[in-house]
Amino acid sequence: MEMFSYTQQHIPIIFLVTDGAVEDERHICNVLKSHLMQKQMICPRLYTFGIGLFCNHYFLRMLAVMSRGHYNAAYDVDSIEVRVEQLFSRASSVILANIAFENLDGLEEFEVFPTPVPDLSSKGPLVLSGRYRGVFPDTLKAKGVLADLSNFSLDLKAIQTKDIPLDKVLARQQIELLTAQAWLTDNKDLEQKIAQTSIQNGVISEYTRMILIETDKGKVITESTSKRKVSTAPKKIEEAKLQKKTLLQNLGAGFGNYSATIENISPGITEKKPETAEILAKAASNCCGKMCDICCCMCCIRTCSKMNDQCAIVLTQFLGSLACLGCFACCELCCSGNDG
């Protein structure tokens, strides 16, 4: 980072592409944060890219946010090339950097996601969200630095809309940014805030679980009532609704898998499926076990006790013939072994 920190004519960009996790991720973020607090005019931008589920995507997102860069990810092999090209295109087409907003001093409270504001690129929109308390100004003044490092300012007109549920649309972005911050600071209050936001907006997070509820209306029972020997029409009573709850696995990206990275496991590797011979052998053993259970159970004994004499004689002769065949095969095996 120090190699690019004192650049005066260009904005240095560092690309970090990984499919694994490292042990001291929080320490790396803290070192980067202390370096950026020196307040140079031009700081290096980190463009991070995560592949698969073994890397800590919140660590990569935090690096990009802290340095005003951008983050992207690919969870399958087919989307890697497309998403990497998008990241490189965004990095090579920056038109406004060091973006900041003025005339917000009149607000009692406000927060912006993400903070600091990333660079504006011509290859994609810059979406910001936030919350405020107070009277929002009609015109918002934005300023930044152009590609030639000259200053630039622009007045943005505020438009209020009630038809679009922006809180629902931008909830996922806020949850992901807050999760990265909660991971870095290990803030339990922030984790609780993320969980509440996730429940209110119906967006999955790392601190909530999704439950599927299957409701069965039950059967309709017909009941006839009588009072003072006067029969009334039958009434239909509906049983209480039965609910079957299924707790799903965590659908979030997780915080990386350091053990899988150490073992150098390739992303997307699944457990080895058993071969066909193993499946057949297991099925045969289960079948034989069930047959033995049936033959030795009390039901079989009771059935044999109720047989007539002829059936008992036939069954005895059949079992005796099987025993003779077994003895014959055993003797043949022993005799052949002695001859050899």
Domain ranges, residue 314: 280-339
Q: Please, what's the b/e burial string for 232-244 (b: 16 or more CB within 10 A of its CB; e: otherwise)?
A: eeeeeeeeeeeee
Whether 147 is in a domain gets the answer no
Q: Is residue 250 over pLDDT 60?
A: yes
Whether 312 is in a domain gets the answer yes
Please write the tens of the pLDDT for every residue from 47-56. 999 999 899 9
Whether 129 is in a domain gets the answer no
The whole-model pTM stands at 0.68
What pLDDT does 244 receive? 74
Q: Is residue 21 over pLDDT 60?
A: yes
Separation between Cα atoms, residue 229 and residue 178, nearest integer Å: 71
What pLDDT does 19 receive? 92
Please write the tens of the pLDDT for every residue from 283-293. 545 554 545 45
Q: Is residue 204 over pLDDT 60?
A: yes
Domain count, the chain: 1
Stated as kind and residue range, the H or E segment containing 327 is: helix 309-339
What pLDDT does 330 receive? 65
Q: Is residue 231 over pLDDT 50?
A: no
Token reading at 330: 């055993």
Q: Is residue 225 over pLDDT 60?
A: no
Whether 307 is in a domain gets the answer yes
Whether 327 is in a domain gets the answer yes
What pLDDT does 263 receive? 87
Q: Residue 117: pLDDT band by 50, 70, 90 thresholds?
A: very high
Whether 201 is in a domain gets the answer no
Q: Residue 159: pLDDT band by 50, 70, 90 thresholds?
A: confident
Whether 58 is in a domain gets the answer no
Whether 330 is in a domain gets the answer yes
> How many angstroms separate the most distant Cα atoms in the chain?
110
Token reading at 70: 């951008």
Separation between Cα atoms, residue 61 and residue 173, nearest integer Å: 11
Mean pLDDT of 177-191: 93
